[in-house]
Structure 1
Amino acid sequence: MNSGTKTTFSVEDLNIYDYDSNNYSYNYSSLSDVGTVCNWESSIYFDSIFIPVLYSLALAVGLVGNGLVLVILWKKRLSLNVTDIFILHLCLADILLLLTLPFWAVEAAKGWIFGTPLCKLTGALFKINFYCGIFMLSCISLDRYLSIVHAVQMYSRKKPMVTHCCCLMVWLFCLLLSIPDWIFRVAIKDTRRQDRTECVYNDQPDVRLAIRYLEHILCFILPSVMILLCYYHILQRLQHGSQCKQKKRAIRVIIALVVAFFIHWTPYNITRFIDTIQTNNTISINQTCESTTALDVALTATSTLAYLHCCVNPVLYAFVGVKFRKHLLDMLRPLGFTLKGPAGLVSRKSSVWSESVDTSHTSAF
């Protein structure tokens, strides 16, 4: 199973159902009330095929895409603006997240074979970069909102270290969120899952439940509200101005980023929230082996879709971001690629969002 969606069962008692979704296990005994022992072979088989294939694809596409973004940013490192710096840190978070995927793919296929120390390290690294990507997107949204709607510069282009320090604070906050991984994560065998060793949490259910609700609020609801409000006001501002080509392209970029974010994250977080309610027995649900297996499969599928988001941003930059496409094709021109399109399409130094935006906040993307 992958780190984001795991179903494990207590090795001490066959009548205890111990569910771990997004790295948190909760003891739940509703199935034992009726003396049911479920067969989880179908869930294990689904994960062993689905996860390695999708994670391998994500690793290949994500490393290439984010690697190209990093190369372009490195080539223009002396003139990085605020958005570029946020995108730099976002790419680093995406790449580090991608590097953990092979471990979870192996776990899905064969079980966790790397031991408890690497289990803690990989789980913490996964958590740090998993949430760092979300918070970086929120920072980008807030910066664009302030610079476009209010013409307020949170950061000075002449002092890029201020922006880097803001990104460092995000990294440190995500490090704090990973503390439970360092403390509670262990590699343990599960007798009800064909004696497979899995990298899971091993602590008190109340603590895990509190962390789960905290993550629902901090890591999806608040960032989602911020992103929606920021881009709603940005669109309102752009639509009230003259409808030049740059503004129309800006609207397309904004819509693409927002839609991509919610397509990848909403199904997973809704499924996770259902799992939290069901695990906490907040509402009365008649659980069966079929419904529990279906939830496990849904968590696996939606979490994989969420993780694929780290591959999407470079694709959006390439197909929607005019300036990024120009930099990319300029870099690839020695290999035989040429830029086709109207002359001077991206030669202007004004913002890709709006000519009224201060150019110190404009991005190559």
Structure 2
Amino acid sequence: MSMDVELDGLFRHNTTYDYDDNYEYKDDFEPRDSNTVLIPLLYSVELVIGLLGNGLLLAVLAQKRRSWSISDTFVIHLCVADILLLATLPFWAAQATQRCGWCFSGFLCKICGAVFNINFYCGILLLGCICLDRYLSIVHAIQLYSRNKPWLVHISCLLVWILSLVLTIPDWSFVIATKESEKTLCVHKYPQSATDWQLVSRLLHHMVGFLMPTAALIVCCTCVLPRLQSSIKGIQKQRSNVVILLLVAVFFLCWMPYNITLIVDTIRSSSKEPNDGNPEGSLKTALMVTSGLGCAHACLRPLLYLGLCVNFRKRTLAMLKRATVESEISLWELGVGEEVPPDQSHEGKEMEQMTSLDQMPSTQCA
């Protein structure tokens, strides 16, 4: 019986097998884009700081609810708008981290997209109301908001919310969850038959939400600051206006990169064939990062109050120590609704001094 083994056939078959063409190896630990780390980290920090800060604001306002001032009304509306924005940050962070992208419902996508712009419009319009009151009060001695007309401030805030909702109608219509590059993303998507809506929506955002308020606030500030410097009691008024100016400055510093990037995208979209409103490449990345920076104002505003407003800081410490504070002084030092006597202006003081000099007896010259 023969025990020989023929290996000729085994060694003769020396053809190679191409694994690249027939087998795809998917590494579960493949390197990810830096945005999947940067965006969630940014949103997480903003969410924690923002909820803590705005929660503290609401707690202080709730403790002071029996003696709310006009400044308190504006602050609570800004606080509510910021909390609504902060509530959407976990969904945007999840979209950046998950492989499926937007894994939630389409209706939730529309809500998150609308809330993003509602917060932007509410923030700039409410700050505009505060600056307008300061401008009329200091420059023209006209009291727009006062304790005698509390209904006016509520109507102003209601109109701000209504206008913000109207301006976000395109977001309710054209923000959808759509599949792009094997991922579902919550983005603005305009069909070819609605390209005019894209241009109208962008123009409203740039004009009503950024350029016009910026010009108005610059005019108000340039008119108010010289009057404060020439006023005898200008130092006391300057403190409230410094708080307002810093609030406005932080708002614009946070939102300006996003608006500039959006203007570039608008020019790019209008100068070539429509691309459903979805930027590509580096521009898309810039929009993601700058929108995250824009949301940072929601957590920076409470920090500004703590750093600049002495009365708010004292009331916060008293609340944490469970001490009762029965003071009706302004917590925010915004000066909104405070009565301004007509003789506070520089010209009024000069006329008063001239009148008093004319009425002085001349015996001192003897």
Normalised to the residue count of structure 2, the TM-score between the two structures is 0.73
Higher mean C-alpha deviation, range 156-165 or range 114-123: 156-165
Question: Which amino acid is 2:85 matched to?
Answer: L
Secondary structure at 2:141's aligned position in 1? coil
What stretches of structure 1 of length at least 5 have no aligned partner?
Answer: 1-43, 283-290, 336-345, 361-365
Deviation (angstroms), 1:105? 1.0
Task: Say if 2:226 is the partner of 1:236.
Answer: yes
- Paired AA for residue 82 in structure 1: I
* Aligned AA (1:196): K
TM-score, normalization by structure 1: 0.73
When structure 1 is superposed on structure 2, of 219-228 and 235-244 the one drifting more is 235-244
How has the CA–CA distance of structure 1 residues 102 and 74 changed in structure 2, closer, same or farther, with 3 Å as cutoff?
same
Residue 197 (str. 1) matches residue 178 (str. 2): no
Deviations 1:134-191 (A, max 9, x none): 211111111222223333222331442331121111111111122222222221111x
Aligned to 1:176, the other structure's residue is in SS state helix
Determine whether 1:59 maps to 2:47. yes
Q: How many equivalent pairs are there?
A: 298
Partner amino acid for 1:296? K
TM-superposed CA distance for 1:296, in Å, is: 2.6
Using the TM superposition, give the Cα deviation of residue 247 of structure 1 relative to its aligned residue in structure 2, in angstroms.
4.0
CA drift of 1:83 comes to 2.0
Q: Alpha-carbon deviation of 1:118?
A: 1.6
1:134-173 to 2 correspondence within 5 Å?
A: 134-173=124-163
Is the CA contact 1:120–1:185 (under 8 Å) kept in the aligned structure 2?
A: yes
Q: Secondary structure at the match of 2:176?
A: strand
Quote the residue 1:277 is aligned against. 267
Q: 5+ residue gaps in structure 2?
A: 1-31, 273-278, 342-366
> Which of 321, 325, 339 is residue 358 of structure 1 equivalent to?
339
Matched, 1:330 2:311: no
Q: Is residue 181 from structure 1 mapped to residue 171 from structure 2 by the alignment? A: yes
Asked if 1 retains the 8 angstrom alpha-carbon contact of 2:139 and 2:223, the reply is yes
Report the secondary structure of 1:45's partner residue: coil
Query: 2:82 maps to which residue?
Result: 94
Cα RMSD after superposing both structures: 3.1
Structure 1's 244 and 156: CA in aligned 2 closer, same or farther, altered over 3 A?
Answer: closer
For residues 298 and 122 of structure 1, do their structure 2 counterparts lie closer, same or farther at Cα, with a shift above 3 Å needed? closer
Whether 1:76 aligns to 2:57 is: no
Change in Cα spacing, 1:52 to 1:227, as seen in structure 2 (3 Å) is same
Which residue in 2 is equivalent to 1:41? none
One-letter amino acid matched to 1:151: A
Q: Which residue of 2 aligns with 1:340?
A: none
Letter in 1 for 2:223: H
Aligned AA (1:309): H
1:119-143 deviations in Å (ceiling 9; x for gaps): 1222223332232122111111112
Deviation at 1:243, TM superposition (A): 6.4
1:319 paired to 2:304: no
CA change 1:320–1:351 in 2 (3 A) is: closer
